[in-house]
Amino acid sequence: MKSFHHWIIFVLMLLLAGCGIPARRGLPPWEPRPTPIAGAPIGTWKLIATDEQGSTPAPNILQMLTIADDGTARMDMWEHALSLIYKLPDPNHIQFTWIGSTNPNDKVGEVWTYAFTVDGDELRFLSDDKLVYVFQRQAVAQATPQPTGDETVSAQLDEPFTLQPGQWAMLDAADDFSVQFQAVTEDSRCPAMVNCAWSGEALVQIVVRMDGAQDSTGNEVAFELTTNPTEDGAAVQYHGYMVALVDVQPYPQQEFASDEIDADEYRVTFMISKAGPEATATVPPTTMPAPPPRAQPTPISGAGQTLAVALRQPFQLNEGQTAIIAREDFQLTFRSVTEDSGCFSAADCSLMTFDGTLAAQKGDETELMSIMASIHAGSSVDLEFAGYTIELRAIQQIEGKGHVATFVVLGTAAQQAKA
């Protein structure tokens, strides 16, 4: 019996020492819990200027900054979003650490420190005593939960609500006014993993009904709204009410993802507000044809325009456009392309042909490249210049817009090894 007790004690000692015990699996790495930060500029802020002269933000840079009170933050760019943590080294400075991105090509870990001041609803960031960002506080409205089924949604004045295709919302304040989300008829928004020269837009077809309306349009009228705030049609006024387009989800994620989102997957958020008594429809009523095929991500047309891009991030150029990587003093220009370059056929982009020229510049070094090549989907044509690798990933011709090419610029061998 004593021998048996000794054996039990020996086994217990082995277990306590960790011998023969398998490593724990499936446990996440330990991370410190964010703690509330006193004195931080908490809130959601929209970028409105980038210097003392009030210069407006350029595409493909920070657009919206959200700072939470738990030491976390989010930067919404045109094409993707960044996750950050922050701290206040002193009451007048904020330090961000980049910890994540919706773009898998991003390399996180950078640290940015700014002096900051808050004056009412205005937030200013300074670097080396120079103003670099001016933000304006935003009031964040919460949308109602996304509906399911075909039930009619109850809408409140000045509060967002979300509809699925074919669904109606009835305004509680006026049971004779309602709106129906018909379909997303076009979605050319720049995919999240591509750096485009234009953010694109989604076009949303709706029907507005006013029971008892006595005018030439009858009591049910169709309109088309756009997500592009610079275009007419982001909102429409009808019989004393204004219907505004707030958001369209899901957001495209991949290059040339024309078939990525099914029509019934869209969920669109609207908001109804009271308009002036003299208000009339500001967008001409549209007919009700079947939704046309969705467009591809569409870059801006025309030559002579530039696009700020970054290493290792895909971007698109139209013929005549130039991409600039400022930190590297590097430029790439899509100079020319033959008319028959592009996809194998209108319905098949598994094989693309490129016959054209590019111009690359690094400091004082320049090179004109003449390229004739075939590109298989998922692969690239790789070009070497000044120690950099230029990947030509795709070339498509979009009706009415011309040719659009997708590129990625990789750093020098030393940079890639460090990355």
CATH of the domain at 87: 2.40.128.270
Q: Using 50, 70 and 90 to split pLDDT, how confident is the model at 37?
A: confident
Residues 349 and 392 in one domain: yes
| Same domain (yes/no): 173, 245 | yes
Same domain, 100 and 206: no
This prediction's pTM: 0.40
Query: What is the predicted pLDDT for the residue at 20?
Result: 41
Please say which residue of 254, 274, 294 terminates a domain: 274
Is there a domain that residue 191 lies in?
A: yes
At 73 the pLDDT is 85
Q: For the chain, how many structural domains are there in total?
A: 3
Give the strand pairing for 153-155 and 168-171.
Answer: parallel
Looking at residue 181, what is its pLDDT? 93
Domain edge (last residue) among 250, 274, 298? 274
Is the domain of 391 the same as that of 342?
A: yes
Q: 317 forms bridges with which residues in the sheet?
A: 405
Distance CA 202, CA 256 (A): 15
Tell me the pLDDT band of 106, cut-offs 50, 70 and 90.
low
Whether residues 124 and 177 share a domain: the answer is: no
Q: Are the C-beta atoms of 291 and 263 separated by less than 8 Å?
A: yes
* Average pLDDT score over residue span 380-404: 87
Q: Does residue 323 sit in the same domain as residue 390?
A: yes
Same domain membership, residue 186 and residue 88: no
Is residue 286 in a domain? Answer: no
- pLDDT for position 57: 61
Beta strands in 71-201 (DSSP E): 72-76, 81-90, 93-101, 111-119, 122-127, 130-138, 153-155, 161-163, 168-171, 177-187
Q: Is residue 82 part of a domain?
A: yes
Instruction: Tell me which DSSP letter residue 30 carries.
Output: P
* Distance between CA atoms of residues 303 and 407, nearest Å: 17
What per-residue confidence (pLDDT) applies to 199?
66
Residue that finishes a domain, picked among 274, 295, 323: 274
Q: Is 13 helix (H, G, I), strand (E, B) or coil?
A: helix
pLDDT score recorded for residue 264: 87
Query: 71 or 164, which is more confident?
Result: 164
Query: What is the DSSP code (8-state) at residue 302?
Result: S
**Whether residue 379 is found in the same domain as residue 323:** yes
- Check the CA dihedral 394-395-396-402 and report its sign: positive
User: How does pLDDT run across 210-252, given as a tens digit for each residue?
Assistant: 876 555 455 788 888 888 765 566 788 888 888 988 888 887 7
CATH, residue 334:
2.60.98
Domain assignment present for 245: yes
- Domain, as residue range, for 411: 306-418
Q: Are residues 342 and 241 in the same domain?
A: no
| pLDDT over 80 (residue 22) | no
User: Are 235 and 317 found together in one domain?
Assistant: no
Does 132 share its domain with 195?
no
Helix (H, G, I), strand (E, B) or coil at 88: strand
Q: CA-CA distance, 99 to 105, in Å (whole number)?
A: 13
Asked if residue 340 is part of any domain, the answer here is yes
Q: What is the DSSP string of 304-366?
A: S-EEE--TT--EEEETT-EEEEGGGTEEEEEEEE-TT-EEEETTEEEEEEEEEEEEEEETTEE
Q: Is residue 32 part of a domain?
A: no
- Sort strands 130-138 and 64-67 into parallel, antiparallel or unpaired: unpaired
Per the domain annotation, does 400 fall within a domain? Answer: yes
Over the chain, what is the mean pLDDT? 74
Q: How far apart are the two ends of the chain, measured CA to CA in Å? A: 63
Q: Locate tokens 């837009």: which residue?
A: 201
Q: Span 150-174, mean pLDDT?
A: 86
Comparing 91-100, 120-129, 143-152, which segment has the lowest mean pLDDT? 143-152
State whether 129 and 183 are in the same domain: no
Question: Is residue 210 included in any domain, yes or no?
Answer: yes
pLDDT in tens, 283-306: 444 333 333 333 333 333 334 477
Helix or strand run (H / E) with residue 11: helix 2-17
How many secondary structure helices (H) and strands (E) does the chain include? 2, 27
